[in-house]
Amino acid sequence: MINILKHRDENLVRLYKYFLPYKGKIAVASIFLIATALTSSATATLLGKLTDVSFYQGGSWLVFALPAALIAVTLVFAISTVLSAYIMSQISQSVLVTLRKELFNSVLHWPESQYQKVSTGLISSKFVNESTIALSGAADSVTVMIRDTVQIIGLLCVLFWHDWILTLVTFVIGPALFIVLRLLSRKVKVVVKQSQETLGNMISRIQESYEAERIVKINDSYDFEDERFSKVNMRIRRLALKTNILQGLPTPLTQILTMVAVAFVVAVALIEAQGGALTFGQFVTFLSALLLIKAPVQHLAGLNSTFASISVAAKSIFDVIDAKPELDTGKKELKEIHQGIAFEDVHLRYPGQDADALKGISFTVKKGESIALVGQSGSGKTSIVNLLPRFLEVTGGKITIDGIDIRDYTLESLRSQISLVSQDVFLFEDTIKNNITYGVRSSVTEEEINAVIDAADLRGLVQSLPKGTDTSVGEGGKLLSGGQRQRISIARAILKKALIIILDEATSALDSKSENEVKKALKNLTRGKISITVAHRLSTIEDCNRIYVISDGKIKEEGTHPSLFAKNGIYTKLCKMQEI
């Protein structure tokens, strides 16, 4: 383990440090690994002794004792191998749990910009593929380094004991072996990295096609999707074959170089045996040790390509873990709102863009007021509301609550006072009850749950289901209609008891009947709160205290519905388009 930590690859060093808390278990596993390794030396020695006894001491009691000893050595090998494998598996799985937990925690705390850069397929691959490669490879390499190193040392002792000059001859293969394995290791790193990236792309492709199955069917795009998938699939095949070849080369190359040395040594040993310098039993011991040393040498030689694969996988994992989380430097706690919210000359520019998406946005919302943001698609309405819970960060100006910059509040306390109901409702694959109580599950009573079910106009739905609120909503809420999903989302928002309500196109995807049912629930949700509504359907915002018309990232008009309609401006045109 010390040798590992001295390795110059920082990703390997960091990965193996995760094993340090389990050094006690590793020590126990090492005892069994050493026992496994020493059985090789014992086997070689016993075979030689058995040969000498058979040829030179025919009546000796050792004729029975030595075979029994061979069986005992084999039993030691079997038991110690199973126990060491079990302990190392325990350790690797424990480390894997820790790594995946750190991965998941890091992803949850990513800023919005990071989510936009990385596909779900690539992230899924890190949890499923890279983490498994890294940990299984790391655990196996620890096993190989301990067991095979001891095995080689033990067998070398046997060889040196019998003929140290011949044994030294075998070391001539070392430099050649080192050069070959070094070159292969570099190649493996490149190919493994490409394989992991391509596997992530394949997962993304599968997920995309699965979620878009209706679009695929309605457009009869089966051949197109097959072709796209086949390209990725065949690339994975090519890279996998390349990886397997590169990772498989060390074994035959080591075999060839080792056997050349072994053949030379055996030839010399045979000459010595024929001349009487070695007994037949000593020759058998020497030959057995030479043949037994070949496998651990191959295993250790193969570690170069193993380390290359582990290093690439570890880097991929640590890149995610080390990604910067959301900026959360605030110290103040938001518990009450006495005055309201103010946007003060707010600007927003998305990463990689040359122009601002929002330009000098300024408005206020007092406690108990409701405002609406309207405008054409892409005008900047949703960008404005995404700034309030700090999903996005302002690039100019500031947003304040009760005169305090929202960046001075902790993210937890700021978001605890904001409820969001959007057009794209997301429900977890769980029960209706658990979806309603998501985020506040441990602190609510049955009475409160029943109250929000009534307030969100869900009572009819719940009573119509055999399991009531314990009914599963299916993956993404697919077992429910759009209106039902929306009302569950509203019930969740009501239960949160937040002081600020954001309604982002909350009814735009609903039919008239569902919209009327949801509007009743929304009134219960927004009563007495600060509410900001983003709407395309202007009929839903006529009762708002103020309406802001957004165009090209700026506020072009503001006022109540009657005053804006009378101006005969942008708002009037929008109303006429919807026949209001």
What is the DSSP secondary-structure string of 261-318?
A: HHHHHHHHHHHHHHTTSS-HHHHHHHHHHHHHHHHHHHHHHHHHHHHHHHHHHHHHHH
State the pLDDT at residue 331. 93
State the pLDDT at residue 2. 43
Q: Record the pTM.
A: 0.75
The structure tokens 């383990």 sit at 1
**CA–CA dist 311, 316 (Å, integer):** 9
**Rg (alpha carbons) of the chain, rounded to whole number:** 35
State the pLDDT at residue 5. 42
Type of residue numbered 237? R
**Residue 197: partners with Cβ closer than 8 Å, 6 or more residues away:** 122
State the CB neighbour count (10 A cutoff) for residue 240.
14
**CA–CA dist 163, 265 (Å, integer):** 10
**CA–CA dist 360, 353 (Å, integer):** 17
**Residue 339: partners with Cβ closer than 8 Å, 6 or more residues away:** 366, 367, 402, 403
State the pLDDT at residue 404. 95
**Residue 463: partners with Cβ closer than 8 Å, 6 or more residues away:** none
**CA of residue 213 relative to chain centroid, distance:** 25
State the pLDDT at residue 532. 93
CB 138 within 8 A of CB 4: no
**Which residues of the chain register pLDDT less than 50?**
1-7
State the pLDDT at residue 347. 96
CB 268 within 8 A of CB 209: no
Residues in the chain: 580
